[in-house]
Amino acid sequence: MVFYFIAAFAFFCYRMIVSQNKFVTALLAVSYFTGLEVFIRMARSTIFWEQGKYAVIFFSLWGMVYVGFKKNAVPYVLYLLFLLPAVGLTLSNIDFDENFRKTVLFNLSGPFCLSVASVFCFGRTIKRDELLKILDYIVYPLIATTIYVILYTPTGRELFISTQSNSATSGGYSGNQVSTMLGLGFFILVTRFFIPYRNVLVHWTMMFFMALMGYRALLTFSRGGVITAVLMAGIFITFYYLNSTAITKRKTMIKLFVIGLGVVFLWGYTEVTTGGMIVNRYTNKNAKGVEKKDITTGRGKLIEAEFSQFIGNPWLGGGVGSSSDNFEEELGVKAASHNEVSRMFSEHGLFGLLALLTLIFAPMITKLQGRKNIYFLAFLSFWFLTLMHSAMRIAAPAFIYALCLLNIDYSPVKKPAKRKKTLAKSQAVIGQYSTLAYSEENIRDINSN
């Protein structure tokens, strides 16, 4: 599996060298490694734990070498600068050695990934078909992830004796991250149900994997990724419907009915498979059907501890990576933050607040400037909701956020020049035959006279 990552990296390096469209090629590379990240971790094949984010950063920077970046992307540079004071605070308390990589780089790799990808994408325009291809490149490794989870997961009702997040049904890895990525794949393929693939066989193959990803996401028993995917789909379908013609709206309603039936069937099948445990999970009950007191499964206490640290250090916060130590001191538990918003307050203080406000309002300004992107709110909601339940442990929220900054060109694709030349030649030949026929008629008239 390590070879798989290296081979994919080498392939996209080659594509970057030979490709004419460096911008789109770089985005394809970034999208592929975004989808691949959790699979590589799940298969225990990482060279560096954050190598997925490093790949996103690498190809984004490489793309900028060729196409540059827009001057108006300054907010995303400021966002990164707002995080530096807490880095200085942390460096004053730890040695610049292995602890620096574990403490600082681990916690800031996500924000740095978001900053670089956003600067790369900001203000750029791509064709609709190019965006769909980029999304497909996220889905391809997620198909491999889904197959891996199925092959390496034991079967039987004994897997579902609890309503906790289930690593056994998540390929032996974090149910939270697997649910997030499979949920993202499910959402992308739901959108392709409404914007179908041109090849019928490909289309229905992808729809099969859409259902499979939704099913496996439910079996992780991690609610965050599934709920996020459903909300994203609802947002996308709403805006797709509102921006459609009357004929397309009628087709959309029919497809929505079909999707609804599919979701009901999928939920019912999952309920049978899990012996009803999935219902208990989503209604906040334990295995015995008794309602739990804390719907956040302990994360609410972590958030309280983080805001408590913010109140004690409002200007600079506690420093990068301080949340884990704070949890151990206040709650007596060793845990990492699951909420990027509260972590920004806790570790970066008011500078963290400024950084968050930058990320929220900068894309809104681009929307007001007239940029078109039907995925805009769906992508932005994925970023924010994922921050709330999974922080920035993976590259997906960073890259999907960057995609919402793109302007999509919906103009119809022009016909290739070759077809025009062929048409011109055909017209010339017809003209020659017409001239010849006219000459022959004149000759007959002369002979008859």
The 10s digit of each residue's pLDDT in 333-373 is 888 888 999 999 999 999 999 999 999 999 988 777 667 88
Asked whether the CA dihedral 272, 273, 276, 280 is positive or negative, the reply is: negative
Q: What is the pLDDT of residues 382-400, one digit of tens each?
A: 999 999 998 899 999 999 9
435 compared with 185, residue with greater pLDDT = 185
Q: What is the pLDDT of residue 432?
A: 52
Would you list the DSSP string of 156-187?
A: SGGG-S-SS--SGGGTTS-HHHHHHHHHHHHH
User: Residue 448's pLDDT band (boundaries 50, 70, 90)?
Assistant: very low
Q: What is the pLDDT of residue 446?
A: 37
pLDDT above 90 as % of the chain: 62
Helix (H, G, I), strand (E, B) or coil at 274: coil
Q: What is the pLDDT of residues 42-63, one digit of tens each?
A: 988 888 889 999 999 999 999 9
270 compared with 326, residue with greater pLDDT = 270
Helix (H, G, I), strand (E, B) or coil at 127: strand
Helix (H, G, I), strand (E, B) or coil at 291: strand
For residue 208, the surrounding DSSP H or E stretch is helix 200-219
The Cα 434–Cα 428 span in angstroms is: 10
Helical pair 376-390 and 223-242, crossing angle rounded to 10 deg? 170
With tokens 């008794």, the residue in question is 290
User: Residue 186's pLDDT band (boundaries 50, 70, 90)?
Assistant: very high
Whether the CB-CB separation of 138 and 184 falls below 8 Å is answered with yes
Q: Where are the beta strands (DSSP E) in 111-227?
A: 125-127
Mean pLDDT of the 429-438 span: 47
Whether the CB-CB separation of 147 and 137 falls below 8 Å is answered with no
338: nearest Cα among 304, 294, 372: 304
Helix (H, G, I), strand (E, B) or coil at 44: coil
Q: What is the pLDDT of residue 166?
A: 82
Cβ neighbors of 438 (< 8 A, separation 6 or more) are none
User: Residue 279's pLDDT band (boundaries 50, 70, 90)?
Assistant: very high
Q: What is the pLDDT of residue 425?
A: 57
With tokens 């960073």, the residue in question is 398
Q: What is the pLDDT of residue 422?
A: 52
- Integer Rg of the chain from CA: 27
Angle, vertex CA 401, rays to CA 169 and CA 257, nearest 5: 60
Q: Which of 107-116, 157-166, 199-208 has the lowest mean pLDDT?
A: 157-166
The Cα 338–Cα 202 span in angstroms is: 37
Mean pLDDT of the 78-85 span: 94
